[in-house]
Structures are given as structure tokens and as C-alpha cells.
Structure 1
Amino acid sequence: MLKELRPALVMTAALTVITGLVYPLAVTGVAQGLFGHQANGSLIVKDGAVIGSELIGQPFTGERYFQPRPSATTGPDPADPAKSVAAPYNAANSMGSNLGPTSKALVERVQADAERLKAENPSAPVPVDLVTTSGSGLDPDLSPAAADFQVPRVARARGLSEEQVRRLVEAHTAPRLLGLLGEPTVNVLKLNLALDAAAAGR
């Protein structure tokens, strides 16, 4: 019986070592060696402190900053942990909204956001990504159109010309991957950091 069991035990031990130890260590080593920034979370550091990630959106308030697209993530209600409340950009609970296109709450929220944005920039159509959430609720990027829509407000609030702010948007617009895949995007956190740096340099 031991003669029959030995090959099975040896194979189990060998595969455990290969797939549970050697392979993960090799992949981790390659990732750290070739893609260290990405492997460690694509973190953004300012003045020695981590202030965010290129991969996870975060809220920005005030007219001086570009606003990200809405987030549908939730978190526990502090008053009643059995219930959930809105917690935008909650990285611990990545999720989209369960509200469908016939949902009254969704329609009212989108309409309210659209009216607010139209009042902010009445001369331009409201880009769809400024009123819709992403599937993860953590999208860190905007379309160039959504960033351009916010240029007049940001320029007014910061006392900059619209042309200056547009140049920053263009400088922080990432093209399609390999020129073919996906769409151009603007990382909101990086753009807002560039705005702050431009203001400090004046």
C-alpha cells in the first residue's frame, strides 16, 4: 500500500512547493523587479506621505478642483451597522449601483446632477461620465470631455486662464493603450496635484 501511496504523496508535496511557494515567489520577484510601482499599488506620494493611488478614485470638494465621476460604493451605517449608507470611493467595498434604468431614485439623482452641472457650464453638453457611476465605484479617471467641461469653473476659482488649465488637462491625458485599446483618460488625482503645483509656482 505504501508503494502506491508514495508517488501520490511525492507529487502532492512537489506540486505544493512549486505552485504554493516557487511560482508565487517568482511572479512576485518579476513584478517587483520590472513593475515595482504598479505591483505596490501605483501609490502617489507627496512630501513623503502617500496621498492616494493612480488606480482608486477619491472625492474632491470645492470649485478649485476637478471632480471625479460619481461613486455608488457604500459602507456600514455608524448608527446601525446592520444597514448601509452611501460612502463614495470606499475602497473596502468596491461595487456598482444595483439601481436599474427604470429606478426613480437613479433617474432623480442623474437629473439633479445634470441640472447642477448645466448651471455650472451652460454652454456645453454634460458628458455622460459626470453623471454615471462606474462598475467599481472607484474609477480614478475621467474622459477628456468630462475634464474639459470643468475647465471654466476651475479656471475661475483659481484665477487662471482657461487656456492654462486646458494645457494641464492635455498634458495629463493618457492616450489609448498602444494607440488602439480603450479610450483616452485623465487621472483626476494627478491633474489636481498638477493644478496645486502650478498655483504654488506662480
Structure 2
Amino acid sequence: MLREIRPAIVLLLALTAITGLAYPLAMTGIAGVLFPVQAQGSLIEKDGKVIGSALIGQEFKDDKYFHGRPSATVAPDPADSTKTVSAPYNAANSGGSNLGPTSKALADRLKDDVDKVRAENPNAVVPVDLVTTTGSGLDPHISPEAAQFQVPRVAKTRGMSEEAVRQLVGANTEGRLLGLIGEPRVNVLALNLALDRVVK
């Protein structure tokens, strides 16, 4: 019996060491050498201080900044650990709201959000990504249309011309990967940092 079990145990230990330890450590080391910024979380620094990541969205409420997509992430309620509270872009609790198309709560939230966003720019069509969340709740990007929609508010608040702000949006728009994969997008944090460099 032991003669039949021993090869299985040896194989299990060998594969565990190779696939569970050696391979992940080798890939982590290679990634750190070839892609040092990405391997450290694509962190963005300003004045020597880490202010965010290019991969995780942030909540910007001030009118002088572009706003990202809504986030459905939550965190434990400090007053009652059996409940949760809204915690936008909480990377420790990535996920969507799981509300479906027949959900009254979702319909009510969308109506309120559309009305609020439409008040900002009543003559334009509200881009869908300004009122809908992503599956992860952490998306740092918006569509170029969503950024253009916000140009009048940002320009007015900062005392800039709309054309200057539109040029910044264009300069911070990323195209499709290899011209084929994905959609054009704007990283909200990068765009807001570019704005701060022009006008504080």
C-alpha cells in the first residue's frame, strides 16, 4: 500500500513546490524587472507623495475636477458591523451592486443620477458611463464623451476656456490597444493632474 501511495505523495509535493512556489516567485521577479511601475501597482506620485493608482478610480466631488464613474463598493458600517455603507472605490471590497434591470432601487438611483448630471449640462445627452457603475466598482476611466460632457463645468469653475479644457481631454485620451482592443478612454486621475498643472 505504501509503495503505491509514496509516488503520489512525492508528485504532489514536487508539483506544489514547482507550481505553488517556484513559478509564482519567478514570475513576480521577472515582472518586477521588466515592468517595475506596473508590478508596484502603477502608483502615481505628486510632490513625492503617493496620491493614487492609475488602475483604481478615485472619488472627485469638487466641480473643478472631472468626475469618474459611480462606484457601488461598500464597507462595514462603523456603527453596526452587520450592515454596510457606501465606500466609493473601496479596493478592499471590489464589486458591483448586483442590482438587475428590474430593480426599483437601481431605477430610482439612475433617475436621480441622470437628473443631477443633466442639470450640469442640460443641452447635451448624458453619457451612460456617468450614471452607471462597473462590475468592479474601481474603474479609473471614463469615455471621451463623458469627459467632453463635463468640459463646460470644469472650464467655468477654473476660469479656463472650454477649448483649452477640450485640448487637455484630447491629450489625455488613450486609444485602443494596438488600434484594435478595447475602447478609447480617459484616465480621470491623470486628466485632473494635468488640469492642476495648468491651473491650480
State if a TM-score over 0.5 links the two structures: yes
1:142 paired residue number: 142
1:131 paired residue number: 131
Deviation, structure 1 residue 40: 1.2
* Separation (CA, whole Å) in 2 of partners of 1:68 and 1:7: 55
- C-alpha change, 1:8 and 1:119, in structure 2 (3 Å) is closer
* Separation (CA, whole Å) in 2 of partners of 1:149 and 1:136: 24
Secondary structure, aligned partner of 1:89: coil
- Residue identity matched to 1:43: L
Secondary structure, aligned partner of 2:132: coil
2:160 paired residue number: 160
* Separation (CA, whole Å) in 1 of partners of 2:9 and 2:75: 46
- Residue identity matched to 1:82: T
* Separation (CA, whole Å) in 1 of partners of 2:132 and 2:5: 59
Of 137-146 and 86-95, the range deviating more from structure 2: 86-95
* Separation (CA, whole Å) in 1 of partners of 2:69 and 2:160: 23
- Residue identity matched to 2:80: D
Q: Which runs of 5+ in 1 are unaligned?
A: none
- C-alpha change, 1:13 and 1:105, in structure 2 (3 Å) is closer
Of 139-148 and 108-117, the range deviating more from structure 2: 108-117
- C-alpha change, 1:115 and 1:13, in structure 2 (3 Å) is closer
Secondary structure, aligned partner of 1:137: coil
Q: Which runs of 5+ in 2 are unaligned?
A: none
- Listed one character per residue, the Cα deviations across residues 32-57 of structure 1 (whole Å, up to 9, x for unaligned) are 11111111111111111111111111
- Residue identity matched to 1:42: S
Quote the RMSD (CA, aligned, Å).
Answer: 1.5
**Aligned-residue identity in percent:** 68
Of 172-181 and 104-113, the range deviating more from structure 2: 104-113
Secondary structure, aligned partner of 1:44: strand
- C-alpha change, 1:4 and 1:173, in structure 2 (3 Å) is same
1:96 paired residue number: 96
- Listed one character per residue, the Cα deviations across residues 122-177 of structure 1 (whole Å, up to 9, x for unaligned) are 12100000010111111100000000000000000000011111111111111011
1:17 paired residue number: 17
Pairs aligned (count): 200
2:187 paired residue number: 187
* Separation (CA, whole Å) in 1 of partners of 2:153 and 2:9: 68
Question: TM-score by structure 1 length?
Answer: 0.93
Deviation, structure 1 residue 12: 3.5
1:178 paired residue number: 178
- Listed one character per residue, the Cα deviations across residues 106-129 of structure 1 (whole Å, up to 9, x for unaligned) are 112111111111111112100000
Deviation, structure 1 residue 7: 4.0
1:50 paired residue number: 50
Deviation, structure 1 residue 9: 4.5
- C-alpha change, 1:47 and 1:10, in structure 2 (3 Å) is same
Of 93-102 and 11-20, the range deviating more from structure 2: 11-20
Secondary structure, aligned partner of 1:82: coil
* Separation (CA, whole Å) in 2 of partners of 1:97 and 1:8: 44
Of 166-175 and 110-119, the range deviating more from structure 2: 110-119
Secondary structure, aligned partner of 2:81: strand
